[in-house]
Structure 1
Amino acid sequence: MTARLLADVDTGIDDACALLHLVGAHRLGAGPELAAVTTTGGNATARDCALNTAAVLDLAGRADVEVAVGAETPLRRPAVTTPETHGDGGLGHARIDRRPERLSPRPAVDVWLDELRAHPGETTILCTAPLTNLALALRAEPRLPFLARGIVIMGGSFYHPGNTTPTAEWNTWVDPDSAKEVFAAVEGLPEDRLPIVCALETTERIEYTPALLDGLLADAGARPARWDVARPRVSGPAADTGHPVTDVLADALRFYFEFHHDYDQGYIAHLHDLVAAQVAAGQADVTLQATVVDVEADSELLRGTTVHDDRRIWGRRPNARRVTGCDPRRVFEDFAQAVGALTGAGVG
């Protein structure tokens, strides 16, 4: 288990699930200390993502964790957001107190570098957003991969269709230039210094359902949500689980279920960032393959497409370790235990 964790997020429904998991797992003694959280624009604007992040952490009892706004725009492209996927505010149907005064005055990259220099070799970096902040931090401190304990990235798509274009995943599509720059910066480093990449062929196996949600709620001592595709849709909060954490979780996931259903994927939710958070926390049971990754940053047709070369056809040195296998059942079990800790059900 890693000692400390620095998360860079674009909160986002699945980012919120990841944050709740990290707080709950640490409370159980099964996860790292959350050192700080920074945001990059993606699912919503960087500032809105920071407000969402702070609100989720406060709800989970971690108002002490610093939350800093990072890059508002990609390296050389205009900012884009995805309200159709995560709702206008970024948290689906959930409503949560957002306090601007809660945000740190420090720039995100300063937070990163101060943390890594103060705790060399102890802090894992988790990136569940476009890689703009990571690229900027590497520019400011090229030794970053050696100061960090490790880097875990949610992004890309290798043996799987894209979720934004036919070939591209959202995070790499938003800022392909930063992703390309990051992988170039770490090429040829020792294998244990290479970032771990959780791409869509892994994260879309983390297929959450209303039945799994109600099982989690039962384990957390909460009332079931009983979301169902046949239920008439309503905007805004509708959950009555008996606990504010699980109300927010249930209302956020209801929006995500509806989004996936409307895009012909079933009444389910892909919790991409949850599995990446568990990998960063050292909890997930995964297999890895060292490889070479590159990102298309010039063609609009293939913008954000990630290409990997396991067979070393390019003759280049590895720059990533991609996740090739995981256990979704364990991901769901660990998530349920972590949320139970937040409601008191999982703490003796």
Structure 2
Amino acid sequence: MAYKIILDTDPGIDDAMAIAYAIAHPDIELLALTTIFGNVRTHEATANALRLLEAWGSDADVAEGEAVPVSVPAHEPSYSVHGRNGFGDVELPATARVPHELDAVSYISEMTRRHPGEITLCAVGPLTNLARLLERDPGIVDRVRSVVVMGGAVHRPGNVTPVAEANFWHDPHAADQVLGAAWPLVLAPLDCTMPVVFTPDFMAALALESPRFGEPLADMARFYTRFYRSHLGLGGCVPHDVMALSWLTVPGAFRLQKGALAVLTEGAGIGQTVFQPGGTSSRSSVFDARPDHLVMVDTDPAMFLADYMRVLTAAADG
């Protein structure tokens, strides 16, 4: 049975890489993109989502999400990482498509009522939409098939502060709320994303073997790679957001730990992910009554890269 996916996203270059994978994979039925701020502002994310779906021939819905975080002031989008338009300054053709009449939270609520127990929410941006969803529709925890979140850093340093990953830093209160909810959740933090690098050679091969997806992604990746080279000395870029989908389709590529999770919401460590392994205890009350979730703590890069190339290449003529 195909995975029915709603992808909560802030496109974003690595978001585009994930969206391409979702469209191309034969076992994924992409129902919708719900949009959020982060890499760009929410209205820009919506425009980017519509353009990507048009360019790649998908009829998935686009539902616009929240524009500001739950409690903290909004940060400036990550234009320095993804370019002023979110796509490394690569311009995609305009589209006449418009967003769904329902906002993101209402859309997710409605679709999970139509398909109870069937929909997986893959969230690859700040978690404001999911936090508002929990507030407005607490029964959602029993209607989703699963939730996969790309965000946080468990055993690794952060990427916007020494301890905080970007998605959780943009809305730490939302992240803490989502990780504390009693729904079946898997976290894909920097621990599993940073071992994987899309090199220029890999992107060139992708453009050659799968022009429909690979050519625009390779163009976007040039900007993204310049950022990673200048800031981390990497010879390529990291496809963070794809991990939230790959967990569903190639779970053998990842090593897992289980435990309770929380996110710090104030102080110098704001946005930091804290983890208590399952079966252990501590004197901290932060984990009281928190459910255990699965955490992807490492990745087999060769398996991941082979799967990504195979999926997009197989869809090249689609």
Query: Normalised by the shorter chain, which TM-score bucket?
Result: over 0.9
**Paired residue secondary structure (1:309):** strand
Structure 1 residues 83 and 100, CA gap change in structure 2 (3 angstroms): farther
Residue identity opposite 1:7 in structure 2: L
**Paired residue secondary structure (2:67):** coil
* Equivalent-residue separation in structure 1 for 2:71 and 2:8 (angstroms): 20
Question: How far is the alpha carbon of 1:244 from its aligned partner?
Answer: 5.1
* Equivalent-residue separation in structure 2 for 1:2 and 1:322 (angstroms): 23
Structure 1 segments unaligned to the other structure (5+ residues): 187-192, 221-242
Give the aligned partner of residue 53 of structure 2.
57
Q: TM-score, normalised by structure 1?
A: 0.84
Residue identity opposite 2:255 in structure 1: T
Task: Say whether residues 1:304 and 2:281 are aligned partners.
Answer: no
Give the aligned partner of residue 209 of structure 1.
199
Residue identity opposite 1:141 in structure 2: D
Task: Say whether residues 1:144 and 2:154 are aligned partners.
Answer: no
* Equivalent-residue separation in structure 1 for 2:164 and 2:52 (angstroms): 29
Structure 2 segments unaligned to the other structure (5+ residues): none
* Equivalent-residue separation in structure 2 for 1:327 and 1:130 (angstroms): 26
* Equivalent-residue separation in structure 2 for 1:196 and 1:278 (angstroms): 12
Q: TM-score, normalised by structure 2?
A: 0.92
Moved more, 307-316 or 128-137: 307-316
Give the aligned partner of residue 8 of structure 2.
8
Residue identity opposite 1:137 in structure 2: L
Question: How far is the alpha carbon of 1:115 from its aligned partner?
Answer: 0.8
Question: How far is the alpha carbon of 1:100 from its aligned partner?
Answer: 6.5
Tell me which of 169, 173, 177 is aligned to 2:169.
Answer: 173
Tell me which of 127, 132, 137 is aligned to 1:131.
Answer: 127
1:224-283 deviations in whole A, cap 9, x for unaligned? Answer: xxxxxxxxxxxxxxxxxxx4533311111001110111113323101100121211x333
How many residues align? The count is: 310
* Equivalent-residue separation in structure 2 for 1:3 and 1:251 (angstroms): 29
Tell me which of 55, 65, 68 is aligned to 1:70.
Answer: 65
Give the aligned partner of residue 32 of structure 2.
36
Give the aligned partner of residue 339 of structure 1.
312
Matches within 5 A, 1:250-289: 250-279=218-247, 281-285=248-252, 286-289=254-257
1:180–1:294: 8 Å Cα contact kept in structure 2?
Answer: yes
Residue identity opposite 1:205 in structure 2: P
Q: How much is the aligned-residue C-alpha RMSD, in angstroms?
A: 1.7
**Paired residue secondary structure (1:247):** helix
1:288–1:325: 8 Å Cα contact kept in structure 2?
Answer: yes
**Paired residue secondary structure (2:180):** helix
Give the aligned partner of residue 106 of structure 1.
102
1:60–1:342: 8 Å Cα contact kept in structure 2?
Answer: no
Give the aligned partner of residue 245 of structure 1.
213
* Equivalent-residue separation in structure 2 for 1:334 and 1:93 (angstroms): 28
**Paired residue secondary structure (1:321):** strand
**Paired residue secondary structure (1:343):** coil
Question: How far is the alpha carbon of 1:156 from its aligned partner?
Answer: 0.4
Question: How far is the alpha carbon of 1:342 from its aligned partner?
Answer: 4.1
* Equivalent-residue separation in structure 2 for 1:295 and 1:129 (angstroms): 15
- Percentage identity across aligned positions? 30
Task: Flag as ranges the 4+ runs of structure 1 deviating above 4 A.
Answer: none
1:93–1:254: 8 Å Cα contact kept in structure 2?
Answer: no
